[in-house]
Structure 1
């Protein structure tokens, strides 16, 4: 479990560095710093159908992930994105919206792993907030085959 947590933190750090590099202004221009929020996580195909990430589960490419806020019976979808080749996803939003009642879930999967759609929502966890950037991570999301 500790090894998995290290992996998620490493992926989250890479996402943050990518977001920071993409929003950096050239030194010759003056630009006011604005804050942003990033939500990052991973999606795996749950081959064993046990509801837990195991040895035979693999990262799911091309799965559609929705960030939903509001809770209750009808949450509002804030953003959607697709996973990359490594099953990772990251969503960047301008500003620092309140993400306390927000979740992430797979709304569409690819291939033979898309049988159990939609998946159960996963809570967001604030990893850090500094220099105008808030990073939220999501525990690995499983799509059942």
Structure 2
């Protein structure tokens, strides 16, 4: 049960991180904005909620709806999920969305997972600060007609192939350097990303403009010399640490936010956050250790 809770916590964190990224505006001229973020998945094992067996659905359509006291729709906006099953709906201004909800619109993008699951969720305010607000909703999902063959609750008629899952995140503090993350023995700890994932897929258009569209995360971890390259290297390592250690000094949302803010700011800000992430990745001079072990 504890493993399931940790696994689900990780998945939710990944969903929210990636969805929040999509909401970042490249311009600082906005007075404020409101972001609604969440995920859509296939409940492959018919658990009725998100688990490690849930599969993100790409291309699912989600509709935000707000209604007045008479049931009349006062606000409606749609979005499609990304390749990792997340969506982000952005509204201008810091808006109050009490009584609003998100729901699935249309059919499932996956024909083998088209059954009705949870089709609507209410919004919950996550935070509101400096004219910005973030609302989230629990995962929406479709489901297959019966559990997949690899599910624990599936009826086994023939031996199912062994499913290789990444290690669960550490409940203890773990801090690993960029050099640690380049070690091929630790590749099983890469979650959602692979070393060949492009930098812009996580950090957004500002990073693509700064570093180019072909730079991979592995190449970013090898960065040195120019201060923006150092910032990128340390932020990638910090995000991998956040995905793999629940008590890490920064969560993945904070790393992404501070990286983009520094990149849009002065060289002083770039240097500040490059050093902040570097100190965190080193466990603040040995106060925390790297808990990675060679993958089997």
TM range (shorter): 0.7 to 0.9
Aligned to 2:182: none
**Deviant stretches of 4+, over 6 Å:** none
1:17–1:48 CA distance, 2 compared to 1 (3 A): closer
- Kept in 2: contact 1:106–1:143 (CA 8 A): no
Aligned to 2:44: 47
Residue 14 of structure 1 and its aligned partner are, at CA, apart by 4.7
Stretches of structure 2 that go unaligned for 5 or more consecutive residues are 145-296
Out of 87, 92, 95, the residue aligned to residue 94 of structure 1 is 92
Taking the aligned partners of 1:88 and 1:96, their CA distance within structure 2 comes to 22
- Kept in 2: contact 1:35–1:133 (CA 8 A): yes
1:111–1:17 CA distance, 2 compared to 1 (3 A): closer
Structure (1/2) with the larger helix percentage: 2
CA deviation map 1:102-141 (0-9, x unaligned): 1111113202223328x43111111100121100011111
Taking the aligned partners of 2:70 and 2:115, their CA distance within structure 1 comes to 22
Aligned to 1:68: 65
Q: Does 1:130 align with 2:129?
A: yes
Taking the aligned partners of 1:71 and 1:46, their CA distance within structure 2 comes to 32
- Kept in 1: contact 2:7–2:51 (CA 8 A): no
Out of 35, 39, 48, the residue aligned to residue 38 of structure 1 is 35
TM-score by length of 2: 0.41
Aligned to 2:266: none
Q: Which structure has the greater CA radius of gyration?
A: 2
RCO higher in 1 or 2 (8 Å CA, sep ≥ 6)? 1
Aligned to 1:28: none
Stretches of structure 1 that go unaligned for 5 or more consecutive residues are 26-32
Secondary structure of 1:111's partner? coil
1:138–1:75 CA distance, 2 compared to 1 (3 A): farther
Secondary structure of 2:102's partner? strand
CA deviation map 1:25-82 (0-9, x unaligned): 5xxxxxxx41210000111111233422234320011000011112789563611000
TM-score by length of 1: 0.77
